[in-house]
Amino acid sequence: MSVKKLVAGNWKMNGVSADLDQIRAIASASRGYEDVDVALCVPTILIDRAARAVPGFSIGGQDVHHAEKGAHTGCTSALMLLDAGASLTLVGHSERRDAQRESDAEVKAKAEAALSVGLNAIVCVGESLDIRELGSAVETVMGQLDGSLPRSLEGEAELAIAYEPIWAIGTGKIPTAPDIAQMHAAIRRKLRERYGSAGAGIRILYGGSVKASNAKEIFTIADVDGALVGGASLNVEDFIPIVAAASGR
């Protein structure tokens, strides 16, 4: 099943007011590629300003708390993200699974919290280099999905999966095309098992060192429905060629 590709940028802990110009430039250039969904996941504190700067363009968060509200100092609820102007959020990025010790169960609760208020959620999974070298990458990622996928897909909000091998993030290394194809096919099978026919329409993004120079090839791989882009999403010159590649241009 061919779906509209999604190219989402993850700005991580980058971006202050001065960078709103980059966001404006990216949003404006993205309008030339209506066959691709484009989004930028920015630091929480920038969401409101970014969303106001680029009405109609998708701005997202990078994490969300699983609870609706309450005594959770420093945390942000799904409703708060939505209220600030976000339309999506990442959950379970490997940098958070590692540094904040987020478990699969927490990631699942976060995804459910996001979807329940109408916020699209991108659930991130991916193996370490040790696991890849041991030959257990697919098994490990399937385990992460078993624990992290939301129970159901009720409501309007959309779930997407980002496969990001940890060893490919920020390193310039990427898996071989057959390895990406094998993983995305396994993820697709899992989504169909879990959600039936709805699993066929869930977008599976690849992330990890996606650049203008490798995007075209990555987007030709079966079941790669887009990309989650870190470093190359920080400026319009690097990011838009990736959007163009998703558009087949």
List active site positions. 93, 164
Nearest approach, Cβ of residue 240 and ligand 13P (Å)? 15
What the block records as the tokens of 69 is: 């509200």
d(CA 144, CA 218): 23
Cβ-in-10-Å burial (0-12, 13-18, 19+) of 179 comes to middle
Closest residue by beta carbon to ligand 13P? 230
Distance, CA of 47 to CA of 243 (rounded, Å): 21
The per-residue b/e assignment along 206-222, b for 16 or more CB within 10 angstroms, e otherwise, is: bbbbbbbebbeebbebe
Q: Which is nearer to ligand 13P, 64 or 232 (CB)?
A: 232
User: Least Å distance between CB 208 and ligand 13P?
Assistant: 5
Cβ atoms of 54 and 27 within 8 Å: the answer is yes
Give the x-and-dash track for 65-104 against ligand 13P (CB under 6 A): ----------------------------x-----------
Residue of 160, 68, 54 whose CA lies nearest to 113: 68
Alpha helices (H) in the chain, listed in sequence order: 20-30, 44-53, 78-84, 94-99, 104-116, 129-134, 137-148, 177-195, 212-219, 236-246
Judged by beta carbon, residue 152 or residue 171, the one nearer ligand 13P is 171
Q: Which is nearer to ligand 13P, 123 or 232 (CB)?
A: 232
Question: Which of the ranges 22-30, 144-152, 180-188, 230-238 carries the binding residues for ligand 13P, by CB under 6 A?
Answer: 230-238
Indicate whether 175 belongs to the interface with ligand 13P (CB under 6 A). no
Size of the site for ligand 13P (CB under 6 A): 14
Burial tier of 99 (Cβ tally within 10 Å: 0-12, 13-18, 19+): exposed
Q: Which of 164, 165, 206, 215 binds ligand 13P (CB under 6 A)?
A: 164
Query: Closer CB to ligand 13P, residue 104 or residue 164?
Result: 164
* Min CB(102)–ligand 13P separation in Å: 14
Judged by CB, which is closer to ligand 13P: 8, or 186? 8
Residues near ligand 13P (CB under 6 A): 10, 93, 164, 169-170, 207-210, 228-232
